[in-house]
Amino acid sequence: MAHHMISHLLAGKVPVGAEVTVKGWVRTRRDSKAGLSFVQVHDGTCFDPIQVVAPGSLPNYDGEIIRLTAGCSVVCTGTLVESMGKGQAVEIQAAAIEVLGWVDDPETYPMQPKRHSMEYLREVAHLRPRTNTIGAVTRVRNCLAQATHRFFHERGFFWIHTPIITASDCEGAGEMFRVSTLDLANLPRTADGKVDYSQDFFGKESFLTVSGQLNVEAYCCALSRVYTFGPTFRAENSNTSRHLSEFWMIEPEIAFADLSADADLAEEFLRTIFKAVLDERGDDMAFFAQHVQKDALTRLESFVQSSFERMDYGDAVKALEKSGKAFEYPVKWGMDLQSEHERYLCEELCKRPVVVMNYPKDIKAFYMRLNDDGRTVAAMDVLAPGIGEIIGGSQREERLDVLDARIDAMGLPKAGYWWYRDLRRYGTVPHAGFGLGFERAVNYVTGIANIRDVIPFPRAPKSAEF
């Protein structure tokens, strides 16, 4: 049976007086002994539920309607009318309400029409999308994802589906999850007693990817403007509000480009996808501003209008030294910036996102391009107030001899990088890219504090129930 999306009805896309059907779940029910009930029904298509007025003359009124509780699924058919009450422009005068699914034992139904803590909702991750908060997060997350593909598509980028499984242990971005079909209780051994991975599924050790970057560089050096957008895995035992074991990452890579062009892209990208949220999800953003973070909306509005502060790493260090702040970790050139330093830069000094560029080479990855000063690399971090590092990027080292020297200096296995080095042997070009932690962007936009609340089913150490 055809039915209407509640978002269409509330947006005025269906004329008053029309016969309509909605299908959804009950939020609340209020009874009037005058002989009618008000049922708030949501279907997830927009923030607001629609009010369905159930007259006592419905054949199942006494038997079913007045027994509806939060969570029941219903099909409501009736006439779209202007509301006689305050609080909504239109409502449905029901001619029939069919109950598809009851809530057995309503007393223990985990989702109640009240405020729940985010920690509690995490324990009922299969039901939390029915809440105002997680519903709004889900729509904003989708909006950001769609805007991401639209942004790149409109600029001639190609979406590259880089592999999830990698047999290369050279990605170098942290602990990896092993992928294996070997019998853990009976591992095959080589003569010298080590695990014999030649008998494993891929004939060698394999893992879940920690980054699509190395693979996407190959396509960048052929299709010029490319990006990845997919899941990424880190087996680090990190227990924070900013880390997940499985998260989604967006990694554009542009050929014939330097670090400055990379920073330009990062800035334009964030502004564009954030503006899409303002344009398309005003209802959800209003909720976040009201119940989650007061300045969520105004901060986003100013974000899309203002430019990022850009700062050389050396200047950032000087600014921190001059700040007069008593940091737990003193600042010194050559050190990586601590969370407290990053927070000072974007939250206090600049009060907006900051791009810190040209870090000391010794604290950055081997593939980042060595600057002419010989002691820094063309790397950048984009720091967002309240989140910290939201983007990390760099211009890549395109000179084979310099790349080899860096691989050797860092004691990495050069042979494993054979195909990555080939990209520098055959028609090498300057290129650059960055990685955006998608969930961190959702955190920033919504004002939701914990990263585990902006992904449907979060995976973290000791946590993979759903």
Partner RNA sequence: UCCUCGGUAGCUCAAUGGUAGAGCAUGCGGCUGUUAACCGCAGGGUUGUAGGUUCGAGUCCUACCCGAGGAGCCA
Which residues ranging from 224 to 283 are in contact with RNA (CB under 7 A)?
234, 236-245, 247, 249
Q: List the one residue from 43, 91, 217, 253 that touches RNA (CB under 7 A).
A: 91
CA dist 439 to 243, 250, 417, Å? 9, 10, 30
Kindly tell me which of 430 and 433 has the beta carbon lying closer to RNA.
Answer: 433
Shortest gap between Cβ of 121 and RNA (angstroms)? 8
Interaction pattern, residues 152-191, with RNA; x per rule: CB under 7 A: ---------------------xx-----------------
Beta-carbon count within 10 A of 189 CB:
10
Nearest approach, Cβ of residue 115 and RNA (Å): 4
Q: What span, in angstroms and rounded, lies between the C-alpha atoms of 348 and 196?
A: 54
Residues 441-460 that bind RNA (CB under 7 A): 449-452
- Which range touches RNA (CB under 7 A), out of 3-11, 264-272, 336-344, 417-425? 336-344
> C-beta of 265: minimal distance to RNA in Å?
14
Residues touching RNA: how many (CB under 7 A)? 72
**Least gap, CB of 89 to RNA (angstroms):** 11
Closest distance to RNA from the beta carbon of 139 (Å): 20
Site string for RNA, 106-125 (x = CB under 7 A): xxx-x-xxxxxx-xx-x---
Using rule CB under 7 A, residue 86 touches RNA? yes
User: Which residues, 62 to 81, sit near RNA by CB under 7 A?
Assistant: 67, 69-70
Strands 158-159 and 225-233 turn out to be parallel
Closest approach, Cβ 401 to RNA, in A, equals 25
**Secondary structure of 223-252 in HEC code, one letter for each residue:** HCEEEEEEEEECCCCCCCCCCCCEEEEEEE
C-alpha closest to that of 54 among 82, 84, 20, 77: 77
Complex with RNA: residue 134 or 197, whichever CB lies closer: 134
Calpha distance 42→136 (Å, rounded): 12
- Considering the complex, what minimum distance in angstroms separates the CB of residue 64 from RNA? 12
Nearest-approach distance from CB 83 to RNA, in angstroms: 5
Please select the residue that binds RNA; options are 93, 180, 224, 323, rule is CB under 7 A: 93
> Which residue's CB is nearer to RNA, number 210 or number 311?
210
Helix axes 400-409, 418-425, angle to 10 degrees: 150
Among 1, 2, 34, 415, binds RNA (CB under 7 A): 34
- Phi, then psi, of 463 in degrees rounded to 5: -150, 95
List binders of RNA among 292-331 (CB under 7 A).
329
Query: Tokens 């992928």 — which residue?
Result: 179
CA 361 to chain centre: 29
Per CB under 7 A, does 348 bind RNA? no
Amino acid letter, 441: A
- Shortest approach of RNA to residue 317 CB, angstroms? 15
Question: Which of residues 258 and 389 has its CB atom nearest to RNA in the complex?
Answer: 389
Using the rule CB under 7 A, is 30 a contact of RNA?
yes
Q: Is 17 in the site for RNA (CB under 7 A)?
A: no
Please tell me the distance from the alpha carbon of residue 296 to that of residue 293, in angstroms, as a whole number.
5
- Report yes or no: 244 and 458 within 8 Å, Cβ to Cβ: yes
Least spacing, CB of residue 230 vs RNA, in Å? 13
Site for RNA in 399-438 (CB under 7 A): 435-437
Q: Which stretch binds RNA (CB under 7 A): 5-13, 181-189, 311-319, 337-345?
A: 337-345
Q: How far from 167 is each of 200, 207, 443, CA to CA, in Å?
A: 11, 6, 32
> Which residue in 440, 442, 446, 447 binds RNA (CB under 7 A)?
440
What spatial distance separates the first Cα and last Cα of the chain, rounded to whole Å?
32
Binding residues among 201-220 for RNA as defined by CB under 7 A: 211
> Does residue 339 bind RNA (CB under 7 A)?
yes
Q: Tell me if residue 353 falls in helix, strand or coil.
A: coil
Question: Residue 88 interacts with RNA (CB under 7 A)?
Answer: yes
Do 80 and 17 form a contact (C-beta atoms < 8 A)? yes
Q: Quick one: 166 or 197, whose CB is closer to RNA? A: 166
d(CA 325, CA 330): 10
Q: State how far the alpha carbon of 160 is from the alpha carbons of 150, 181, 219, 253, 394, in Å.
A: 14, 27, 8, 10, 19
**Smaller CB separation from RNA, 200 or 212:** 212
Residues 375-394 that bind RNA (CB under 7 A): 388-392
The kind and range of the H/E element at 216 are helix 213-223
Closer to RNA by Cβ: residue 243 or 396: 243
Q: Name residues whose C-beta falls within 8 Å of residue 118's C-beta, 6 or more positions apart in sequence.
A: 133, 448, 449, 450, 453
